[in-house]
Structure 1
Amino acid sequence: MKGFLEWFKASSKMKRWMFTILVGVILACYGLAEILVMKELSFLEVGKIIAIFVVGFTLIVLGIVFMQKRTLEILVEASDRRMEDKKNVNLKSLIFNKKVYSEGPNIVVIGGGSGLNTVLSGLKNYTSNLTAIVAVSDYGKEMSSARRELNLLPLEDIKESMIALSDHSEMLEKLLNTKFTRGRLENLSFDDIYFAAMRNISKDFSDAIEKSNQIFSIVGKVLPVTLDEMKICAELDNGMIVEEKDRISEVVSNKVTKINRVYIQPSNCKATNEVIEAIKKADSIIIGPGSLYTNVIPNLLVNGVAKAIKESKALKIYVSNIMTEPGQTDNYGVSDHIEAILEHAGQGIIDYCIYDTGEVVPEFIKKYNLEGADLVEQDIQKAKNKGIQLIQRNLSYIQGEFIRHNPDAVAAAIIDLICDDLKYQDRQNDPQYLMLKAKLDYEKKMKKIPKNKKAKEKREKNKEKGRQSKFISKYGKRIETIKNTDQIKKANMRIMQEADKLEESEREAFLKSIEEGKK
């Protein structure tokens, strides 16, 4: 009975066809009744009755046909939660999307943190053949006694990737992040207990993750880069060694010293066979965005990963960060990010770099400036000298008070590049290209993904300063003004604090000397 009542909901779009069938039955019955009841009928009356019967019968047939069609749409729609535009759902588009997803390109995404999840959530609208490769490394925080008792591996990035790829992301996020606050389970989350249980009923940890991909209705799959417990370490310019992932950002945040290199312990951590196989089969390999030294590079240091990427014939794409990270990538440009990856993993790891030229109102950057972060410099010419093709796209958008990568824009830029590569291979008549291109055009139309606008600058400026993004050229002076204003405020505050420590007569002389110095 409950299932039957579901048909009468507005979202089912069934009532209109039920009403059509009802009207058809009434008209058909009326026509039959007239023929059976009336003893004598004129030619005109017979024609009228036949017309009513035919109209009624036609309405019954149409109602049944469209009810069946809508039933199929509901079934297909229920099996694919990725359809966001429910108003324009039809059987043809649903079946087409299913075909696109199943025959989409094999894409491997390597990274960690929110940057990886952004790429995954955007790409799952184009293909089901997704593989997320993440490091099995937590943030070095002290393990609770409960976690130690369960002998849990650090699974933060794996959990977040599963949430991003799930058909029920919001519900899964609430479930896995539910924390227990009392008893022996205090400070444990549901995901800790779940993965501990899955490991007990599975052959090994990798098998537990694979089964979880199915249980959580994951689009594609999530793979740990290694089954060894890996520690991420950093060597700083001053010779200091930091052996905990979360402490790396803490130590360098004062900007006294910089990161010289990162490495993993043990150094002989071996990539799983599934990871190597996924890289070999990939049509495209995406690296980043994400924390350069703690999320992106460590995955490439695991034995076998960098070598497999270099030997792969897939498109190797690096998605650059929008903002720098305080202490870790201060004053870094696009070329510096690329150089850091190449220094750690070697040449041949990147073919293309997608970087942001989106416009963001400068006031949003103020929050980042106060924390020591800034926009990643668009030093395009230096990056080109490294033999890497650069693609500029409007990737940024505002989420609350934060500047983030737009999942739809990042995914569209990647798929656009894959389509161009298929076209270059003279495969523009292949079903994969045709379907992928049609899906890309549809997504751009429905979500209004910002199109790339070429910066209009004079040739003299290009030669002298190098090519700048539209955002920098338009808002550069405004950003500098905001930064200078904040610096002046901080400087004045320090002066007043120093003045408060002096005697009254000394204070006046001190402030007077400061004023004369400014003049």
Structure 2
Amino acid sequence: MTKFTSKRKRPKIVVIGGGTGLPVILNSLHKENADITAVVTVADDGGSSGIIRDYINVVPPGDIRNVLVSLSDLPQVYKDIFQYRFESKDQFFSGHAIGNLVIAALSEMKQGDIFSSVQELSEMMKVDGHVYPAANIPLVLNARFSDGAVISGEAEITAAGKTITDVWVTTGDDSLPEARPEVIQAIMEADQIVLGPGSLFTSILPNLMISNVGQAVCETQAEVVYICNIMTQKGETERFSDADHVRVLNQHLNKKFINTVLVNTEPVPTDYMDRQKYDEYLYQVRYDFKGLRDQGCRVISDNFLLLRDHGVFHDGDKVVEELMRLIGQLPV
């Protein structure tokens, strides 16, 4: 991808999400002449992040770690050290990434102020852009299912195997959380808001369910672009079409706030995926052009597919090329 070198001001792009999809876009966006702000979910309670969260009540660090690395200008060897995960034979550190431990330590040093900790670490890691936790305290994700049951906790929600109707976030004392003013200011001043790719109910919506974040995304003058997932996800979006993803987002904020949706229409080769390695992904998301138009959004459909290591991913460079075109940084 050719870096844009126009003398026009750097466009302000806010990317909101979490999970493995967010760094894919940020890695490619980092090559562009853009002012990037990543707003990262803090409701993760699985894996290393969940263990650290349980022990010291810190915002889960895993997604923040990956985003910091994707925007860092440090030499690759330093980023590799930050990402290194201890092997299972190291019983005390088993499964923990060094970066998770560093983030947890900084947060403890600053009496739990994760926002300030991440800003300090961003300077240390020479991050080109801004990395903002969606909230300054750990959040609890709650879900209501079609049978009326309510479950709390991201890992428990996805393991339930039920149809989710809606989600919301609370703090440990069940109060309603709010994002820092810096997060809201970034959204309101943005030229483009990017949602996804990522788990619909557990990576994207937890951010939007923070009341002032959802309100800002609905009120901003920026174009809101949703990058729809390529595959349906077990325990979350089974049998979903691309229009179903957009419908759920709009319903949660009670407004058709998605302006543009990017959808992959390239077929995933039969039997390409390693179903054991990528066991949470089920089938390719069904394309429903009419359903998308009914949601009032512009539809950009193309081949955004990247096949790698018997897994299915978005081609970050192709997606970002389209984002740059939408914002007027590349010829139409």
Provide the residue aligned with 1:137 in structure 2.
43
- 1:349 paired to 2:257: yes
CA distance in 2, matches of 1:371, 1:245: 14
Deviates more, 1:233-242 or 1:180-189: 180-189
CA distance in 1, matches of 2:307, 2:96: 33
2:135 partner letter? T
Q: How does 1:53-452 map onto structure 2 within 5 Å? A: 99=5, 103-140=9-46, 150-167=56-73, 168=75, 171-179=78-86, 188-199=96-107, 202=110, 204-252=113-161, 257-266=162-171, 268-364=176-272, 367=275, 373-419=282-328, 436-437=329-330
1:86-111 per-position Cα deviation (integer Å, ceiling 9, x unaligned):
xxxxxxxxxxx595599421000001
The DSSP-based 3-state class of the residue aligned with 2:327 is helix
Q: Would the alpha carbon gap of residues 147 and 243 (structure 1) be closer, same or farther in structure 2, given more than 3 Å must change?
A: closer
Give the Å deviation of 1:121.
0.9
Give the Å deviation of 1:123.
1.0
Q: Would the alpha carbon gap of residues 147 and 110 (structure 1) be closer, same or farther in structure 2, given more than 3 Å must change?
A: closer
CA distance in 1, matches of 2:180, 2:76: 27
Larger relative contact order, structure 1 or 2 (CA cutoff 8 Å, min sep 6): 2
CA distance in 1, matches of 2:15, 2:98: 26
The DSSP-based 3-state class of the residue aligned with 1:391 is strand
CA distance in 1, matches of 2:93, 2:275: 38
Larger radius of gyration: 1
1:108 partner letter? V
Contact in 2 for aligned 1:335/1:380 (Cα 8 Å): yes
Q: Would the alpha carbon gap of residues 141 and 201 (structure 1) be closer, same or farther in structure 2, given more than 3 Å must change?
A: closer
CA distance in 2, matches of 1:371, 1:193: 26
Contact in 1 for aligned 2:4/2:33 (Cα 8 Å): no
Contact in 1 for aligned 2:40/2:207 (Cα 8 Å): yes
Could you tell me the percent identity over the aligned residues? 26
Give the Å deviation of 1:335.
0.9
Give the Å deviation of 1:197.
3.8
Q: Would the alpha carbon gap of residues 115 and 169 (structure 1) be closer, same or farther in structure 2, given more than 3 Å must change?
A: farther
Query: So what's the TM-score if we normalise by structure 1?
Result: 0.57
Q: Would the alpha carbon gap of residues 227 and 102 (structure 1) be closer, same or farther in structure 2, given more than 3 Å must change?
A: farther
1:290 partner letter? G
2:66 partner letter? E
1:264 partner letter? V
Query: So what's the TM-score if we normalise by structure 2?
Result: 0.87
Give the Å deviation of 1:141.
5.9
Provide the residue aligned with 1:64 in structure 2.
none
**What RMSD, in angstroms, separates the aligned Cα atoms of the two structures?**
2.9
Give the Å deviation of 1:159.
0.8
> How many residues are paired up?
324
CA distance in 1, matches of 2:43, 2:315: 26
CA distance in 2, matches of 1:371, 1:273: 35
Give the Å deviation of 1:140.
4.6
1:267-318 per-position Cα deviation (integer Å, ceiling 9, x unaligned):
5110111100110110000011111110011110002011111111111101
Contact in 1 for aligned 2:65/2:100 (Cα 8 Å): no
Give the Å deviation of 1:151.
4.5
The DSSP-based 3-state class of the residue aligned with 1:113 is coil
Provide the residue aligned with 1:502 in structure 2.
none
CA distance in 1, matches of 2:4, 2:156: 45
Q: Would the alpha carbon gap of residues 198 and 375 (structure 1) be closer, same or farther in structure 2, given more than 3 Å must change?
A: same
Give the Å deviation of 1:359.
4.2
The DSSP-based 3-state class of the residue aligned with 2:194 is strand
Give the Å deviation of 1:205.
2.3
2:327 partner letter? I
CA distance in 1, matches of 2:129, 2:280: 37
The DSSP-based 3-state class of the residue aligned with 2:261 is strand
CA distance in 1, matches of 2:193, 2:71: 17
The DSSP-based 3-state class of the residue aligned with 1:160 is helix
Give the Å deviation of 1:129.
0.7
The DSSP-based 3-state class of the residue aligned with 2:283 is coil
Q: Would the alpha carbon gap of residues 140 and 244 (structure 1) be closer, same or farther in structure 2, given more than 3 Å must change?
A: farther
The DSSP-based 3-state class of the residue aligned with 1:232 is strand
Contact in 2 for aligned 1:321/1:355 (Cα 8 Å): yes
CA distance in 2, matches of 1:389, 1:413: 13
Structure 1: gaps (5+ residues): 1-83, 86-96, 420-435, 442-519
CA distance in 2, matches of 1:337, 1:170: 38
CA distance in 2, matches of 1:338, 1:246: 23
- Higher helix proportion: 1
Give the Å deviation of 1:219.
1.9
Contact in 2 for aligned 1:332/1:377 (Cα 8 Å): yes
